Amino acid sequence: MVILSSRLAKEDISILPVDWTAAIPFRPIETVDQAVDISLGFAICALMGTELPEHPLVISKSLGCHTAGRWSHLMNVSASHILLTPPADCLCGFDDRQKILAAVAGEKDSVVPVHELEDWAKKRNIPLFVLPGLGHSLKAGKEACEDLAGRLTEVLDRS
């Protein structure tokens, strides 16, 4: 999502990445709840002492969607969210102070079935962008990433 970050930076939106992929050894973790607890602790520590905007935009992916909802709730932060490949069971972790602007899924995601997200998004009137031919990693070419960044920027402009 480097392209999205670049586009947001051009719009004068501050970006503070919180990436634990290299910091947390997920292989020995047995349950999603354990992984979320560890990633939540990591996020709290990573953001401690950081001056956040009053209403931050949080872009999270997969396990990070679990963490984003819990972090926002625990830290009493009213935020806007863009969810990339959000597991269906994390969606109840967002409270009324959280505004989910959009969700993104890969058409061939074996971890998060698209039909579950379609039903969820439709019920809540949340735009869902399904990327054709992509799996859970959302690894796409430059053209597809630029297209998605443009669509998400349009959502941000309307919010």
pLDDT band at 107 (very low <50, low <70, confident <90, very high): very high
pLDDT of residue 129: 94
What is the residue range of 12's domain? 2-158
H helices present in the chain, as ranges = 2-10, 32-47, 63-74, 114-124, 142-158
pLDDT of residue 102: 93
Across 66-72, average pLDDT: 87
Distance from chain centroid for Cα 101: 10
Q: How many domains does the chain have?
A: 1
Q: How far is CA 11 from CA 6, 83, 112, 150, 157, in A?
A: 9, 20, 31, 12, 10
> Is the alpha carbon torsion for 85, 88, 93, 95 positive or negative?
positive
For residue 134, the one-letter residue type is: L
Across 76-81, average pLDDT: 87
pLDDT band at 91 (very low <50, low <70, confident <90, very high): confident
The 10s digit of each residue's pLDDT in 14-58 is 666 677 777 777 677 888 888 888 888 888 888 888 888 888 888
Check which CATH number belongs to the domain holding 139 and give it. Answer: 3.40.50.1820
pLDDT band at 124 (very low <50, low <70, confident <90, very high): confident
